[in-house]
Amino acid sequence: MMESGDARPPVFNNRDPVYLQVVRRFKVDIATGRLNAGQAIPSRRELAALMNINPNTAQKAYKEMEDQGLIVTEGNSPSRVTNDGRILGAIRDELIAESVDELIAAVRPIGVPLGELLDIVKRKYETALSAAKEDER
């Protein structure tokens, strides 16, 4: 998402503030390993250009990420993804929890029994994992 080679600017929804959507994209990139612990990230100005957003919005997103401890900025060096394992683990847990909450909000009104739901998640996840292994060959 934040690489210069990635020409397509991201699509934002009209529901959440853009700076929070930017923060969430960074969290996804960190949790999925597209961004590594300690890795330098673009400057605010570069990010604004890459994402096609207002520089003030980029500034607000970076401020939020600094406040949450996701990124660290020292002096005039570029900001970097934190090396703090607890924060990195918390990002991962937060994203998983969000996705599970969405699943439950969708299926609970349908009244699916827990055992059936767990079976479906298990079966589909195993299928997805073995499909990924096939691709690797």
Binding positions for a second copy, rule: CB under 8 A: 28, 31-33, 92, 95-97, 99-104, 106-112, 114, 117-118, 120-122, 124-126, 128-129, 132
For the chain, the first-to-last Cα distance in angstroms comes to: 27
Q: How far is the CB of 114 from a second copy (least distance, A)?
A: 5
User: Which residue in 39, 53, 42 sits closest to 10, CA to CA?
Assistant: 53
Tokens representing 52 are: 């096609």
Q: How far is the CB of 54 from a second copy (least distance, A)?
A: 22
Evaluate whether 4 touches 50 at the Cβ level (below 8 Å): yes
Residue 40 or residue 118: which is nearer to a second copy going by CB?
118
Count of Cβ atoms closer than 10 Å to residue 82 Cβ: 20
CB of 55 to a second copy, least distance (A): 26
Q: Which is nearer to a second copy, 12 or 46 (CB)?
A: 12
